[in-house]
Amino acid sequence: MKSFNGKNVLITGGASGIGRLMALQLLDEGANVVIWDIHQENMDRLQQAVKAKPGKLITVCCDVSRKGEIFSKASEFKAKMGDIHLLINNAGVVSGKSFMDCTEAQIEKTFSINAMALLWTTRAFLPDMIENNEGHIVNIASAAGLIGVAGLADYAASKFAAFGFDESIRVELKKRGSAVKTTIVCPYYINTGMFRGVKSRFSWLLPILDETKVARKIIRAVRKEKPRLLMPWTVYTVMPLRVFPVAVFDFVAGILGIHNSMDEFTGRT
């Protein structure tokens, strides 16, 4: 996707954080951007910020934890704007609690938004992409989708699911000979406020990422049709480290402070 001009883009959870920043960049490049979000006040602020942008912005209140709502809003989207060219599954939540401290409702919410919503939005829009032999799906996962982290059991499980889902549909599309692409994004903690309070023991190795730079890198990855984007570069070492015994893997993670990174987590207040 060399140019986004005139392309139809859908970003879930796109009224704040990296979703908002990606929307602004895509609007600058002339895309027609639809935001699905549940926070009307954030969508109103976004509308105020884009009046001079060349692209077109539509904001829609949509709860992606509800499968029926996803398919209903998808039908409305296609009736008004036609086919979608770029789907960015960005919506996400975090409880930030140890597994036994999470309520059942929190666990279900984490999975319905971080994992199941990806499946339903893809089911809603992928058939048309396949038929048109054109399209790109971005799934925002996490470095916690590659390594389990203390205090993030439900979140990590949902992001592992997102990683596996993206990898599977990427291979399925390749087997079909389809031109539709996917990109899985696995960043370390980002300074959006979602993970306020997290700490990095060695910030030169595992820095808390700047949201503006992350958004730009994701759009660049789409343009280059990269199947995988991990940030920072040190996250790429997680997979080769898994060839070592579990005790060694856990020792390295402990030295890096990964399992203490959530000790002072507060999240959005």
CATH number of the domain bearing residue 44: 3.40.50.720
Domain assignment present for 55: yes
Give this prediction's pTM.
Answer: 0.95
Q: Per-residue confidence at 54, pLDDT binned at 50, 70, 90?
A: confident
Mean pLDDT of 158-182: 98
pLDDT given at position 80: 84
pLDDT given at position 269: 53
Q: Structurally, how many domains does the chain consist of?
A: 1
As a whole-number percent, the residues of the chain with pLDDT over 90 amount to 93
For the beta sheet containing 228-231, the strands, ordered from the edge strand earlier in sequence to the opposite edge, are 56-61, 32-37, 8-12, 86-89, 136-140, 181-187, 228-231
pLDDT given at position 154: 97
Q: What is the pLDDT of residues 190-210, one digit of tens each?
A: 999 899 999 999 999 999 999
Mean pLDDT of 216-243: 96
Domain assignment present for 268: no
Mean pLDDT of 144-170: 97
Domain assignment present for 265: no
Annotated catalytic residue 155: yes
DSSP 132: H
Q: Per-residue confidence at 152, pLDDT binned at 50, 70, 90?
A: very high
Catalytic residue among 155, 188, 189, 236: 155
Domain assignment present for 51: yes
Domain holding 99, by residue range, is: 8-260
Cβ atoms of residues 82 and 132 within 8 Å: no
